[in-house]
Chain A
Amino acid sequence: MLSLLLLLLSLPPALALECSKDHQDGYQVRLSIKTALGDQAYDWNESELFLFKATIAFAMRKYTKNETYDVSNIVVCNETPRVSFWFIVVNPENPTLAITKTRVEEAVRVSRNRINNAFLLTDKTLEFLGIPPTLATPVTPATPPWLIVFGVVIGAVCAGIVALLISSFVRGKRANKAKEFAEEDDQAKGADKGISGETFEDRNGVYNQAFSDDDRFTQL
Chain B
Amino acid sequence: MEMEKDARPSWDNPMQFVLACVSYAVGLGNVWRFPYLCQMHGGGGFMIPYLLMLILEGIPLFYMELAIGQKMRLGSIGAWSAINPYLGGVGIASVVTSLYLCLYYNVINAWSFWYLFHSFQSVLPWAECPVNSNQTGYIEECEVATPTQYFFYRETLNISPSIDDNGGIHMGQALCLVLAWMIVYLFIVRGVKSTGKVVYFTATFPYVVLIIYLIRGVTLHGAMNGVKYMFTPKLEQLADPRTWINAATQIFFSLGLGFGSLIAFASYNHHNNNFERQAIVVSLINSGTSIFASIVTFSIYGFKATFNYESCLERMRLLLLNTFDMAEDTITLDNVDYWITELNRTHPDQFANLAPKLDTCDLVAELDTAVEGTGLAFIVYSEAIKNMPASQLWSVLYFSMLLLLGMGSMLGNVTAIITPLCDFKVLARNFSNETLNGLVCVFCLLLGLGFTTRSGNYWFTMFNEYGATFSLLFIVLIEIITVSYVYGLKRFEKDIEDMLGHRPNWYWKIMWAVVSPVLLISLFIFYIVDYIRGGTPTYQAWDAVLGKSVVMEYPWYGQAFIALLLVSSVCCVPITALYAFCKKKQKEAKSVPHHEHTVSTVSGV
Q: List B contacts of A138 (CB < 8 A).
A: 130-131
Q: Is the CB of B121 within 8 A of A134?
A: no
9 residue pairs from A and B, CB less than 8 Å apart: A82-B325, A132-B136, A135-B137, A136-B131, A145-B117, A148-B120, A157-B183, A161-B185, A168-B189
The list of the 10 closest CB pairs from A to B, nearest first, reads A80-B325, A146-B117, A81-B327, A34-B328, A82-B325, A132-B136, A149-B117, A135-B131, A146-B118, A157-B182
Q: In the bound complex, what is the Cα–Cα distance between A106 and B538 (angstroms)?
A: 51
Q: A101 an interface residue at 8 Å Cβ cutoff?
A: no
Q: Are B322 and A30 in contact (CB under 8 A)?
A: yes
Residue of B nearest to A79 (CB): B325
**Chain B residues with CB below 8 A from A148, complex form:** 120
Contacts of A158 in B (CB 8 A): 182
8 Å CB contact of A179 from B3, B116, B176, B190: B3
B566 within 8 A of A: no
Out of A82, A133, A136, A157, which one reaches B321, CB within 8 Å?
A82
Main secondary structure of the interface of A (DSSP, over half): helix
- Tell me if A197 is interfacial: C-beta within 8 Å of chain B: no
Is B135 on the interface with A (CB-CB < 8 A)?
yes
Shortest Cβ distance from A131 into B: residue: B136
A170 CB–B CB distance under 8 Å = no
Q: What's the Cα separation between A82 and B194 when bound, in Å?
A: 68
CA distance A157 to B194 in the complex (A): 14
* A9 located at the interface, meaning its Cβ lies under 8 Å from any Cβ of chain B in the complex: no
Distance in Å: Cβ of B542 to nearest Cβ of chain A: 22
Q: What is the predominant secondary structure among interface residues of chain B facing chain A?
A: helix
Q: How many Å lie between the Cα of A168 and that of B318 in the bound state?
A: 68
Interface set of A (CB-CB < 8 Å, partner B):
30, 32-35, 80-84, 132-138, 145-150, 153-154, 157-158, 160-161, 164-165, 168, 172, 179
Known contacts A35-B328, A80-B325, A145-B120: does B189 contact A165 (CB below 8 Å)? yes
Report B-chain residues with C-beta under 8 Å of the C-beta of A160: 186
Q: How far is the CA of A32 from the CA of B318 in the complex (A)?
A: 9
The distance in angstroms between the C-alpha atoms of A160 and B179, with both chains bound, is 13
CA distance A158 to B318 in the complex (A): 55
Most central of B185, B186, B328 by chain A CB within 10 Å: B328
Q: Quick one: CB contact mask for B132-149 with A, threshold 8 Å, 1 for yes?
A: 000111100000000000
Please indicate the chain A residues that have their CB under 8 angstroms from the CB of B138 in the complex: 135
Q: In the complex, what distance in Å separates the CA atom of A132 from the CA atom of B130?
A: 16
**Of A32, A133, A147, A164, which one neighbours B194 at CB under 8 angstroms?**
A164
Q: Give min CB distance, B316 to chain A, whole Å.
A: 14
Choose one: B3, B130, B189; the contact of A164 (CB below 8 Å). B189
Decide if B328 touches A153 in the complex (CB within 8 Å).
no
- Minimum CB–CB distance from B288 to chain A (whole Å) comes to 32
Contact check, B120 vs A32: say whether CB atoms are below 8 A apart: no
Chain A: CB-nearest residue to B129? A135
Asked if B120 contacts A161 (CB within 8 A), the reply is no
Q: Are B186 and A157 in contact, CB atoms less than 8 angstroms apart?
A: yes
- Give Cα A147 to B175, complex, Å: 10
Which residues of chain A are near B137, meaning CB under 8 Å?
132-133, 135
> Is there contact, CB below 8 Å, between B179 and A157?
yes
